Structure 1
């Protein structure tokens, strides 16, 4: 037993050598999220009146002009902050709030999945169904319905359209528009809130070093 414990301790000590690469995880999150938020924020900026109307009439949000302005600012400026790695812990706060608002107002009623799974056997709802999670069985039933509809659509397109050309850039899916992406982005942003921008490849790191060096003088 003591030999196993010693081996585990040595393995743990060995893993400490990888700490020099700990900047890679926050860098990867930043580079993944930044283009998404910049693109979405830029789209909102260029179609601002349409976004206000969507917030007002479809989502029925209060103060739609203010909400649209806050969402646009958070996504565009927050995305740029993530890209540069500057004030990251501050920038992710409004982005997390935006993701929560989006999940509740635009996606909540559609359940979890962003794209409806058409194969019930590979759906993560199987795992939740085992423990009796609410809505899991309904999700599995929905997967079978989605599969039937996709098969019908493929049959129609195969008979009346150029199916190879239509699917050349990707397979057809049923958009579910659930909270999956919003929650995923929220979790990644929350991680950045606790870790910060990361070392070496961020302005936060170099600015922090400069101020610490100045305080030592």
Structure 2
């Protein structure tokens, strides 16, 4: 009986194997605009007062943030690193979008996400937006497993809920709630590693899967150059 179910399962997988490229395509479509706009914001591409060769350099404010140890990252050679990070994200995002050199470009992009997580967001913990309900917080799972850090996070969620309640009371009494809440409810930004870590994991996945069968330029280029080989991406 068990063998029959397994064989049926394998048969079904074989029949839908042509859809293998959908997963990496979804990752690419999520990652590409994030990387493109992150790189775009680090560069002077929108400053039309500069000549073209100046516009390709990193923005001065970004360079200052890369180099300042008091309120920034405190990295050496900040102008070079800001330039490198900006163009890695900007060009890398476009390459992800079309699925060209997917595995190769995912490596430096993963490095930028690792640096962002460890150097920028690490001290803020995991969550990008602070949970306001301990019962629905993902930290609850780790609290069940005995994590002290998760318990602290759940306690912090109660404080977050209290502060959000105060904010809403102030707005109700003195503001324009219909106007202020038109595009969503207020949240407390925690600025943790959550997004950077998720993007890092997605990029690591693309390193192993490639751009995806049928849905990337990598696939069609390899199919043209190696027509007799059977491959997925």
Specify if TM > 0.5.
yes
After superposing on structure 2, the runs of 4+ consecutive aligned residues of structure 1 that deviate more than 2 Å are: none
Give, in whole Å, the separation in 2 of the partners of 1:191 and 1:200.
18
Partner of 1:150: 164
Q: Counterpart of 1:176 in 2: which secondary structure? A: coil
1:39-188 alignment runs, 5 A limit: 39-46=37-44, 48-57=59-68, 58-188=72-202
> Are 1:31 and 2:29 an aligned pair?
yes
Give, in whole Å, the separation in 2 of the partners of 1:4 and 1:54.
59
Give, in whole Å, the separation in 2 of the partners of 1:64 and 1:138.
36
Range that drifts further, 16-25 or 129-138: 129-138
* Aligned residue pair count: 213
1:186-205 deviations in Å (ceiling 9; x for gaps): 11111110010112121111
Residue 214 of structure 1: how far off its partner (Å): 9.2
> Are 1:21 and 2:23 an aligned pair?
no
Give, in whole Å, the separation in 2 of the partners of 1:159 and 1:5.
67
Give, in whole Å, the separation in 1 of the partners of 2:13 and 2:104.
31
Unaligned runs of 5+ in 2: 45-57
Give, in whole Å, the separation in 1 of the partners of 2:88 and 2:119.
17
Partner of 2:49: none
RMSD of Structure 2 on Structure 1 (CA) = 1.5
Partner of 2:217: 203
Residue 67 of structure 1: how far off its partner (Å): 1.6
Unaligned runs of 5+ in 1: none
> Are 1:191 and 2:228 an aligned pair?
no
Normalising by structure 2, we get a TM-score of 0.88
